[in-house]
Structure 1
Amino acid sequence: MIQIAEKLYQNRYRVDEGRPHIKIKDQHICSLCHDKSCTVLCPAGCYQRGEGNTVSLVTDGCLECGTCQVICLEHRNILWEYPRGGFGILYKFG
């Protein structure tokens, strides 16, 4: 069975240095979130549990699916916009 990491490796991601297209608005709100669903449900694994009940975000490899926005609807703590043209996910077969 092919692992998800192997499938994600088929895609490429062009990083827009210094200009991430997703940001956590307020880290304090993340610390109050009990289940931290974003750390489990993001298909690209961009969100990780951090020290002290925080959430860290690395946008490299983001699939731009918008799942994080839906997961965080209750708190509305995600600032999400499309990457600038030419940056972001570059699908190999599409």
Structure 2
Amino acid sequence: MPPIARHLMIHGRVQGVFYRNWTVETARGLGLAGWVRNRMDGSVEALVQGDADAVDRFIALAQDGPPAAQVARIEATDAPVEALSSFEKKPTA
């Protein structure tokens, strides 16, 4: 089954609560590739790609995130699959 990719915009109390590090650990644990970064508006943006079941599992887990986070909503849209081999944290945009 070919990989899929989803672009995520995560809103709520998601900065300053270990959310990006949690995202990296969780995505890598699920075998996903992609990236995560803070946004100047207080949201977190991510691109996750890999097996469809793993991507869906990640999005479900991201609704909760780390213990201190309070996720209000996640906007998930289809994205083109990129040539990525790992999951990393990017600088704030």
Could you tell me the TM-score, scaled by structure 2's length? 0.40
Higher strand share: 2
Larger Rg: 1
